[in-house]
Amino acid sequence: MTDILTIDRTPPTALVTLNRPEKQNALSIEMFDALDAAFDALDRETDIRGVVLTGNPKVFSTGGDLKQALEINTILQTKFWLDRFAATNARIEGLTKPVVAAIHGFCLTGGLELALCCDIRIAAANAQFGVTSSRIGTVAGAGATQRLARLIGPEWTKHLLFSGDFIDAETALRIGLVSEVVEPDAVVPAAKARIEAYARRAPLSVYYAKLAVNNGLQMDLQSALAYERQLTTGLFATADKKEGMAAFLEKRTPEFKGE
């Protein structure tokens, strides 16, 4: 636990909570350091099979810390800050376990870019999503123009970027930004339920499926299909594959070990 980030481990799930309510969970260099340390630790813990990333009942995150932003006056300083943010995004996106974002309230600009690095997004009915960069004369620089376009398509992405307007949870569900909308008090339980469901499956199967989708999206179709076959071939030599098939034939619950 830190003063800006808390971690609640209840295997198979770890709940990671952004904890700067007085700053609307603004993202700072210190927050990036805390997130990196948390995800590094959780990646190594075998009893943790997935992570839920959340904020508080009023806000997931409104984006970058304005105090730090006002101290950025040069191109090199801007590049350093964005590169630091990108590294944290990559750390979350690259976790070997599923990451589910449980989103209440405002999820804006950098906060949305952070949520886009999660595998699954579940929204409270009171959630609001947006990219406000055009309101202050900038453009989103930590993934929104790219990850958002790959998720919801270029037209909706351009609308959000051009307008700076917010969309509600139901619109986010309709365009594919989130996969589920629930009442506010059910968001974290719903996210934990996802992790519990995934934890019943073979860990390497889940991880390789994540690799196939995430990396395959960066390839042309034929290269991605070849990559998929390569990953599947590798799994056929694992103990979990043998256990899974044996359990199926014997009509019992498999006991996977991630081997």
Domain definitions of the chain by residue range: 5-198, 203-249
pLDDT, mean over the chain: 93
> Quick one: residue 139, left, alpha or beta (phi over 0 = left, psi -120 to 50 = alpha)?
beta
pLDDT band of residue 257 (cuts 50, 70, 90) is: confident
Position 1 pLDDT exceeds 50: no
How do residues 169-191 score in pLDDT, each as one tens digit?
A: 999 999 999 999 999 999 999 99
Query: Which CATH code is given to the segment(s) 203-249?
Result: 1.10.12.10
Q: Which amino acid is at 232?
A: T
Dihedral of the CA atoms 8, 13, 15, 16 (nearest 10)?
100
Distance CA 234, CA 239 (A): 11
Distance CA 29, CA 95 (A): 20
Distance CA 62, CA 239 (A): 44
Position 3 pLDDT exceeds 90: no
The answer to whether domain 5-198 and domain 203-249 are alike in fold is no
What pLDDT shows up at residue 70?
66
Q: Whole-model pTM?
A: 0.93
- State yes or no: cis peptide before 11, omega within 30 of 0: no
Q: Which CATH class for the 5-198 domain?
A: alpha beta
> Quick one: residue 67, left, alpha or beta (phi over 0 = left, psi -120 to 50 = alpha)?
alpha
